[in-house]
Amino acid sequence: MINVIQKALYTRSIKSTNMARQESRAAYLFLIPAFLGLAFITYLPLASVFGLSLFKWNALTPPVFNGFNNYISLFTKDPYFLDSIKATVYFSVIAVVGSLVYSLAVAMLLNRRIPARGFWRAVFYVPYVLPGAAVYMGWSFLYETNFGLFNYVLSQLGIHKVLFLSDSSNVVPSLALISVWLSGNLIVIFLAGLQNVPRVYMEAAEIDGANAWHRFIHVTLPCMSPIILYNILMSLVTNMQIVVPALTLTNGGPGNSSMFMTYLMYRYAFQSNQLGYACAISFVFFVLIAIFTIILFATSKTWTFYEGGDDRK
Amino acid sequence: MERTRKILVILLCALMILGVAGCGATGTQGGAPSQSTASSQEATPASTQEATPAQSSGEKVNITYACWGTIEENKAVQDALDKFNASQDKTKVELKLIPWEGYVASLNTMAAANNLPDTANMQEPMVMDWVKQGMLADISDMYAGSDSKPLDCITYKADGKPVAYGVAAETVVMYYNKSMFDKAGVAYPPSTLDKAWTWDEFVANAKKLTLDKNGKHPDEAGFDAQNITQYGCLVENLAWQLEWPILSNGGGFYSADGSKVTIGDPAATEAIQKVADLYLKDHVAPLSIGSTDDGVQRGLIAGTVAMTTNGTWNVGTCLNTAKEQGLNYGIAVLPKMKQSATLATAGTNVVFNQSKHQKEAIEWIKWYANIDNGWPLISAGIWPPIFENYYTDETLTHKWLDNPNFPPYADYKAAAVDPMLDKNYVHSASWFYVNHAADFNNLLTSILGDVWSGKATAQDVITKNLDKFNAIFNGTAN
Amino acid sequence: MNNIRSKTRNKQIVDILSLTAIVILAFVALLPIWWIFRSSLMSNAEIYKFPPPFFPQNWRFSNYGKALEYFKFWQYLKNTTIIIVPSVIAGTLTATLCGYSFARLRFRGKKFIFSLCVGSMFLPSMVTLIPLYTMWTRGLGLGNTYWPLVLPYFCGGGAFSIFLLRQFIMSVPRELDEAAKIDGAGYMRILVQIIVPAIRPAMIVVALILFIGLWNDLLQQMVYINKPEKYTIAVGLTIFRGAYKSDWSNLMAATCMTFAPGVILYLIGQKYFIEGIVMTGMKN
């Protein structure tokens, strides 16, 4: 109680002193890089993307004002756009859920008393440091219908060959699997989080007679919830921007099943030379990600639990 | 205490030095305007590179030529460039390699930034659209005064008038693995047009060449379609190459004069379905979703397919090397459905209107178009010559084909030389005379995805999307 | 008594099962990498053999030599390093500066600017590609240089890095700051002498994240780099694929070469990275 009053008095007195101004000045100075970046790399270009999306522009002739027609065309006439939203969302959901389950499971296994834990951790982390284009190329070889490793194993087990990348219903799960394989960085973060679940809680729960499953649900998960939130966020942002497999492997096919939004935008901008239209796609994509993020943050208040109290400074 | 501060300062200095070093290493020449075409690295302190065409100071003009290609192709192009550079003092041409996959995108990006090379080998789907937008300098009189006309089938035409010429006269042919045929005891496919196989004969022969892991053929009892070790054929189903079966069946992507979209006609959908059925029903072909054109590499050269259809450029780009490594291949005419048909295509060398050295650039292109100068690519088997007299005059044909890079003279002549003069057989690919060909082909690739895997029929998907095809054709798509 | 013993027993059994599961999973996780490696050592004919062999017959390291003829790996590596080193250093340093401001300093508009910052985390680079490309090339004339790839990292290294460092700095107890302030230290001094040593592992984490991001950024590199001498590893590999199409053995050899630097760097830096994560975990 007294602390609060003291703090309040202290803050008020600070505000009007020279110190405050000095502090502000230092802050603005240090933040110059951020200011430049936010202005010229982020927000001004974002505004111009929206602005451009209102024009018809093929980069070779001056832009022609088109109002919202680009957006209307996108949602009504375009043969790819609606499928592309579906593909992107479908892929992101599977990839994010898959990555989280996989990394959490592996982290929990690694958390036990096993020898050479550092070595195993390194093994699972390695895919993350490999260049994406190379990874997809390598996996495409594994997925090959007639001579790939997976189909060979399946055929030995007597199962029908699976058309991994050639069948429109299998492409997205196959690509999502690669994304899950690549999510080694999440394992490390989860592991650290697991090791920070206070032993006090775990022991208390044990004494109370909670079995492993209960301990997991009621102690581990809540304590890890901020980290889970962070990982979901990282995974979501990464996976929604997926473009490399479409660029190097599938070209959006078969059908439109891998026509991810980023790839579609790239095609319209750089292959069909319709820059205004492509900017419209970018902007819709931006709005989509924003919606997902807001929903995530809004709902997170109900299920995340901060050990050290709310850090609202 | 002071030490950490010193370290930080040193770090910052190192950072700045690195930054400056990075700038130096990337070799930007003094100042902004150098984003233009004069891109030679070893140019001297040269803001005079910006010289306009009115430059008679004897200083060399540097121009760039962009193209794509495999290693063999690039070597041959570099040879031609070196020859040109050595033959005169005024102009130096520099090669700019851009991968085929990103070629269209790269050129578009450069156009938007006013950063195009002076000249380029342009991919087929782009040409007509760029002509329409006025991006290309007019070089239609390129061959005026030469002793032969370019073939009609590789001439780009707008309103019936030529606007650009292909750099080669590529057609689609069939290649086959002689060793596999010998082993199966099957007669080679015919290389002369009048003996071309019908589609049914083609499928029947393919069946004799298809083996599962127990050595059985598709029409035998106990054939295991899940474990095929050798396929009889692979018809390349990249969208533009699909037109030859359609033409062979009496139809086309468009009507012959390019005024209507005819891909929804039964002739077209039937033909596409027949190609798909090679995998789905006949079990003689591996699954192919039509997104790449490396059928020769992954089929014939890999030793998993006995016959494949693809372009004549493969002789030089990959089959020759394969031959040296032991592949015994032959060349034949395509099978026919109702009539024999093939497609002719070629990229074209263009000069961009954005170029600051148009005069020199046009001279370079004209020089390159001269048959003797482009000879390295021709003799490598990558670019069949475009001049009529090489197809009518046997001495010239011999000059071209008597060369270890090619399959036996008689076969190649019968399959790829003689038919070129038959206007009923050779059809220009659609991008020679219609606009928006790229978007049309992209849509086709996209909707046919489910047809190849058997989840939908060609007729269904095409009929459902016919209005979209028409919108693209009419330019009202978006 | 019995209860405790059987509990420990149970724990041991679960530990052993976990180890088994880990071994199996690790094997599965490494399988793709092994497959790529073994393919890079086989001839093309061998690759297409059915059933596919697990080990190559003769270990054809000559494939690598052949791939190097066209895939100029060392040159690409040099180019990639030229881009990555300044970017990572600049990004980490500026992110520290900005993170420190958000974590410690009070100033007007802090909440607003910070939310702008956080908002920009979710802006995929693709969205702003077209206007940025026009700005760099038409506007500033920096087409075909590395500047468009490097300069953005001087602006804080991305909102993610700033955010991460802010979180870490916030976990450093303020008492140390206050003590130094009383001793008369300026903000820069506090930053350098107190904060930086405390969050050093976090800075390394940020550097690693930036490194991986740049390493993988095929799209931006393809857009801004047009000359063969300037190709980075990612671009070089894509072109190589275009030239070699289905020549799998050479392609896999090139792919393996591109794997190597990342793996080596990780093995060296792993200690710091793991330490950093664990330490921050403790701090929380």
Which residues, listed in sequence order, are joined to residue A219 by a DSSP beta bridge?
A: none
Contact between A254 and B227 using a beta-carbon 8 Å cutoff:
no
Contact between C216 and A20 using a beta-carbon 8 Å cutoff:
no
Chain C residues within an 8 Å CB radius of A43: 116, 120
Sequence spans of domains, chain B: 59-169+346-401, 172-343+433-474
Chain B residues within an 8 Å CB radius of C140: 32
- Chain A interface, mutation test: which of B128, B446, B473, most A Cβ atoms within 10 Å? B446
The whole-angstrom distance between residue A215's C-alpha and the CA centroid of its chain comes to 29
The whole-angstrom distance between residue B318's C-alpha and the CA centroid of its chain comes to 14
Measured torsion, CA atoms of residues A190, A192, A198, A201, in degrees rounded to the nearest 10: 20
The answer to whether residues B175 and B319 touch, using CB atoms and an 8 Å cutoff, is yes
Question: What is the structure's pLDDT at C177?
Answer: 80
Q: How far is B111 from chain A (nearest CA, A)?
A: 7
State the pLDDT confidence band at A233, using cuts at 50, 70 and 90.
confident
Q: From B136, which residue of chain A is nearest by alpha-carbon distance?
A: A60
Give pLDDT < 50 ranges for chain C. Answer: 279-284
Chain B residues within an 8 Å CB radius of A73: 478
Q: What mean pLDDT comes out for the span A232-251?
A: 83
Structure tokens at C230: 């300037």
Same fold, B59-169+346-401 and B172-343+433-474: yes
Which CATH number is C71-243's, of 2.10.210.10, 1.10.3720.10, 3.40.50.300, 3.30.360.10?
Answer: 1.10.3720.10
Angle between helices A18-30 and C73-104 (to 10 degrees): 160
Candidates C188, C146, C196; CA nearest to C169 is C196
Handedness of CA B199, B203, B205, B206 (dihedral sign): positive
**For strand B119-122 and strand B61-67, is the pairing parallel, antiparallel, or unpaired?**
parallel
**Average model confidence (pLDDT) across chain A:** 83
- Distances in Å between the Cα of C61 and the Cα atoms of B342, B464, C71, C76 are 43, 52, 15, 20
Predicted TM-score of the model (pTM): 0.79
Q: How far is A129 from chain B (nearest CA, A)?
A: 24
C215 touches chain A (CB under 8 A): yes
Based on C-alpha coordinates, what's the Rg of chain B? 25
- Distances in Å between the Cα of B183 and the Cα atoms of B186, B232, B282, C45 are 8, 13, 21, 18
Sequence spans of domains, chain C: 2-63, 71-243
- Chain C interface, mutation test: which of A13, A121, A126, most C Cβ atoms within 10 Å? A126
Comparing CB atoms, the residue among A79, A163, A274 nearest residue B453 is A163
Contact between B35 and C246 using a beta-carbon 8 Å cutoff:
no
b/e map of C25-59 (b: 16 or more CB within 10 Å)? bbeebeebbebbbbbbbbbbebbbeeebeeebeee
Which pLDDT tens digit goes with each residue over A39-97? Answer: 888 889 989 999 989 988 877 778 889 889 899 989 988 889 999 999 999 999 999 99
For chains A and C, count residue pairs whose Cβ atoms are closer than 8 Å.
Answer: 250
Question: What is the structure's pLDDT at B329?
Answer: 92
Comparing CB atoms, the residue among A161, A253, A267 nearest residue B449 is A253
Question: What is the structure's pLDDT at A309?
Answer: 44
- Cis ω before C52 (30° cut-off from 0): no
Contact between A253 and B289 using a beta-carbon 8 Å cutoff:
yes
Q: From C117, which residue of chain A is nearest by alpha-carbon distance?
A: A38
Candidates A289, B332, B37, B431; CA nearest to C124 is A289
Comparing CB atoms, the residue among B96, B229, B318 nearest residue C226 is B96
Neighbours of A158 (CB within 10 A): 7
CATH topology for the B59-169+346-401 domain: D-Maltodextrin-Binding Protein; domain 2 (3.40.190)
Contact between A80 and B446 using a beta-carbon 8 Å cutoff:
yes
Candidates B360, B349, B344; CA nearest to B432 is B344
Is residue C137 classed as helix, strand or coil in its secondary structure? helix
3-state secondary structure C46-74: HHCCCCCCCCCCCCCCHHHHHHHHHCCHH
Contact between B111 and A254 using a beta-carbon 8 Å cutoff:
no
The DSSP 8-state label assigned to residue B190 in this structure reads P
Q: Which CATH class is domain B172-343+433-474?
A: alpha beta
Architecture of domain A79-312: Orthogonal Bundle (1.10)
Contact between A26 and C105 using a beta-carbon 8 Å cutoff:
yes
List CB contacts of C114: < 8 A, sequence separation 6 or more: C102
Q: From C276, which residue of chain A is nearest by alpha-carbon distance?
A: A192
Structure tokens at A19: 């110190």
Structure tokens at C50: 């059915």
Chain B residues within an 8 Å CB radius of C85: 18
Instruction: Give phi and psi for A65, each to the nearest 5.
Output: -65, 135
Contact between C86 and B303 using a beta-carbon 8 Å cutoff:
no
What is the spatial distance between Cα A250 and Cα B10, in angstroms, rounded to a whole number?
48
Q: Which residue type, as a one-letter code, is found at position C109?
A: G
Candidates B324, B378, B391, B323; CA nearest to B346 is B378
The DSSP 8-state label assigned to residue B155 in this structure reads E
The DSSP 8-state label assigned to residue A43 in this structure reads I
What is the spatial distance between Cα A133 and Cα C33, in angstroms, rounded to a whole number?
14
Structure tokens at C156: 């804080």
- In tens digits, what is the pLDDT along chain B, a chain of 478 residues? 444 444 444 444 443 333 333 333 333 322 222 222 333 332 333 333 333 333 344 578 888 898 887 666 778 888 888 888 888 888 888 888 777 766 877 787 777 767 788 999 888 888 888 888 888 888 777 777 777 788 888 888 887 788 888 888 999 999 999 999 999 999 999 999 899 999 999 999 999 999 988 888 988 888 888 778 889 999 999 999 999 999 999 999 998 888 899 999 999 999 999 999 999 999 999 888 887 777 888 788 878 899 999 999 999 888 888 888 888 999 999 999 999 999 999 888 888 988 888 888 888 888 888 777 778 888 888 889 888 888 988 898 998 898 888 998 889 999 989 888 888 899 999 888 888 888 898 889 888 988 998 889 999 999 999 988 998 888 776 6
What is the spatial distance between Cα A176 and Cα B239, in angstroms, rounded to a whole number?
27
Chain B residues within an 8 Å CB radius of A64: none
